[in-house]
Chain A
Amino acid sequence: MVSALAERPVPATATGIAVQIRGVSHWFESKGERLDVLDGVTLTIAPGEFVALLGPSGCGKSTLLRLLAGLDAPRAGKIGADGVRITGPDPSRLLVFQDPTLYPWRSVRQNIALGLQARGVARENAHRIEAALALVGLEAFGDALPNELSGGMAQRAALARVLVNDPRLLLLDEPLGKLDSLTRMTLQAEILKLWQDAGFTAVLVTHDVEEALLLAQRVVVFSDRPARTVREITVDAAYPRHRDAPELQSLRRDILASLGHEHEL
């Protein structure tokens, strides 16, 4: 795994956050009943690494992302960024959801400005908003309202809203789950390029094995709820990867088998 990291095509100036997850368990309580979602998850992510968290829908992967974002605190275990315990949200660790969740009353440009505005630095950083628009190819849509965008464009705007803040840890919660397959392929390539150029650490939650293998340097396979790590697979293939490459095909079979789907191959 170390050798794989050494070869990764990320610039030496990588500014990604190192993530430490130690024995993290989490549960929700509703109507007096306890619903376990994470069961003793331990995981270390190197700065600038691209890790995919793969598992069945609703297994608890998304909860792990919320813990990393600092939106919730784990019930048990420790979770740290660069060795410092995460106690709350921070603009260096940002989430992209499955739904773009753009504010419908704001134009695309105002949506992207959200973080800068919230921290009171929007005026002096106006040029960065334009740069972020250009980064995701939405230069012509700065004044458009979210309900005028297609699904793919809206998700691009959501990416720009996060990237304009220079996150050091990008948490992707099935961001392409609701897009059509052609748009998804385009955006997979774009996310990969953004990661290669910016050097942030990326954690992608997905239930799409192919997507995980195309993008991630390491795939962590989770069990059904409550989620435990079942396997970790290092993907050494060079970028850009091709979905039909035999190497990826054999890894895909391997992963599907460990998810209990070998009979469907």
Chain B
Amino acid sequence: MNSITHPGRAATVDLATLAPAAAALDRIWRGGLIAAACWLAGAAVTRGWPDLTPWPRTDLFAAIQLAAALALAALALFAGDTPRLARLRPLDRWFGAIPLLLLVWQVLTAKTGLLPLPFFPPPQSILEVYTDDLSRLVESAAYSLLLLFPGYAAGGVVGFVVGVALGWSQRISYWGHPILRFLGPLPATAWLPIAFFFFPGTQSAATFLVALATGFPVAVLTASGIGSVNAAYYDIARTLGASERFLILRVAIPAALPNVFVGLFMGLGASFAVLIVAEMMGVKAGLGWYLQWAQGWAAYANLYGALIVMALLFSGLIGLLFAVRDRVLAWQRGIVRW
């Protein structure tokens, strides 16, 4: 657009003068505006339609919905074309669906009572759990993580080493593989009574069980990964003068890493299950214990509140594992998406 003298460019120049207005319209994130309207509708219903029996956090819930509406509207109008928002834009239907879901839920519970208490608490009562019982929830989540991490790390490391040994050495595989085949299918939770008996404390017993739940899939998948490495990779390294140590560390393990991460992923899922059961059965802390405690008091709002925290925590951990994997296996493309 540097020359107006060029005859062929005349039309383009005309359009260019109109462009700023069109571009300004383009810059608005329409999906975001619609989502903002949905949040606003939710806020209006929360505030304008009185509760059957007044809930203490109804006003706060309305304020949060209003804040979400304002924030989305501001983003949609003034930052609709920033690169950071480009990642959010495709999610606009979710941003709109969530407030509508909350609206329907609230109408069915707090406003009309069509779904009975105490099993179906309204959203504002779950909000109340987060405002009034936050410290206990945070403490429980922290206890769960402190129980999970040492067990998961130990199980991952031991499972990996065992898997490499099983996959590499025929002699180790001869003895180890049948044992793994025989004991592997036992769910780690089945060991719970024995573990609580043998270990000095419930904490160490639960750590052992988490390690066990993690270690089996990691060992099995590492071993099968090492066993299925393209034989030509070894031939090449051997002709080039590689030692056995080099073959294991620089050929077998990198080639098996995609499998190792599948094992770590499966182990993480299994470790969540064991963790929660162990907390419900013996360990007197953690989110599993919180669920048990809430159920004992028929505090269903606390139950749902804890489940939401748990979902966020666990999916966050799996997301973290996948981020590490994508980093380590950047050479690989088109693998399982989370």
- List chain A positions with a Cβ less than 8 A from chain B: 66, 69-71, 89-91, 93-95, 97, 99, 101, 103-106, 114-115, 117-119, 145, 147, 161, 165
Contacts A71-B235, A71-B239 given; 5 further ones with Cβ under 8 A? A71-B238, A89-B241, A101-B233, A106-B254, A114-B237
A91: which of B233, B241, B332 is its contact (CB, 8 Å)? B241
Instruction: Type the 1/0 row for B236-264, where 1 means its CB is closer than 8 Å to any CB of A.
Output: 11111111001000110011010000000
In contact, A118 and B240 (Cβ under 8 angstroms): yes
Does B331 make an interface contact (CB < 8 A)? yes
Q: Which residue of A lies closest to B242 (CB)?
A: A118
- Once A97-B232, A118-B246 are accepted as A-B contacts, the answer to whether A147 and B333 lie under 8 Å apart by CB is yes
B239–A70 touching, CB < 8 Å: yes
Set of chain B residues within 8 Å of A97, measured between Cβ atoms: 232, 236
* B230 contacts the other chain (CB 8 A): yes
**A104/B239 in contact, CB under 8 A:** no
Choose among B242, B243, B255, B331 the residue that contacts A145 (Cβ–Cβ < 8 A): B331
Contact assessment for B255 and A103 in the assembled complex, using a CB-CB cutoff below 8 Å: yes
Q: In the complex, which residues of chain B have a beta carbon less than 8 angstroms from the beta carbon of A99?
A: 232
Selected from A101, A105, A119, the residue in CB contact (under 8 A) with B236 is: A101
- A-B pairs, 7 with minimum CB distance: A115-B240, A118-B242, A89-B239, A91-B241, A101-B232, A119-B241, A105-B331
Q: Compute how far the CA of A147 lies from the CA of B335 in the bound complex, rounded to whole angstroms.
A: 14
Does A94 contact B331, Cβ atoms closer than 8 Å?
no
Q: Are A105 and B241 in contact (CB under 8 A)?
A: no
Shortest Cβ gap from B244 to chain A (Å)? 11
CA distance A49 to B267 in the complex (A): 56
| Contact call B239/A93, Cβ cutoff below 8 A | yes
The residue among B233, B241, B332 with the most chain A CB atoms within 10 A of its own CB is B241
- The reply to whether B236 and A95 form a contact with Cβ atoms under 8 Å apart is yes
What does the 1/0 interface line of B259-296 toward A look like (CB < 8 Å)? 00000000000000000000000000000000000000
CB <8 Å contact, B240 and A165:
yes
User: Is the CB–CB distance between B240 and A103 below 8 Å?
Assistant: no
One of B230, B233, B241, B251 near A115 (C-beta < 8 A): B241
Asked whether, in the complex, the Cβ of B239 is within 8 Å of the Cβ of A91, the reply is: yes
Q: Shortest beta-carbon distance, B326 to chain A, in Å?
A: 14
A64 to B67, CA, bound (A): 76
**B83 shortest CB reach to chain A, Å:** 26
